[in-house]
Structure 1
Amino acid sequence: MKENKYPFLGNFLGVAEEEGTDHNEFVCSMPVGREVLNPYRIVYGGITATLADMAMGWMLEKRIS
């Protein structure tokens, strides 16, 4: 497990900040493997919501600091 200031769940899912092309833009990503896919081979909604929630938190943290 990575040791950084980000939450356990983000590290567990492999969420990472990416380089954006604009300072008003925030980009993050996570790997999509079989373990996060539902039986229809679509990413589980909870995983998608977690990624959105973490991106929102990181973006706000960067804007405030």
Structure 2
Amino acid sequence: MKNTICEKLMWSAMTPAIFKYIAAHCKNTDTSRVKKKSRKNFKDMLARTPDIGGFTKNPLRICLSGGIV
């Protein structure tokens, strides 16, 4: 899949809460390093995932993008 607006919106919507949780509950974790690694892993996973159609043709793209995040 490509990193389209749908994937960018899912990343922007979900990651602040995820990283706040990590910062609060995982005291020994370097959150900035986790952010960098997770962004790279997100892009790599998108590249490996087969395209399932555009946002208007397949509404399950939102679920798939959220699952990748």
TM normalised by structure 2 equals 0.35
| Bigger share in strand | 1
| Bigger share in helix | 2
More contact order relative to length (CA 8 Å, sep ≥ 6): 2
TM normalised by structure 1 equals 0.36
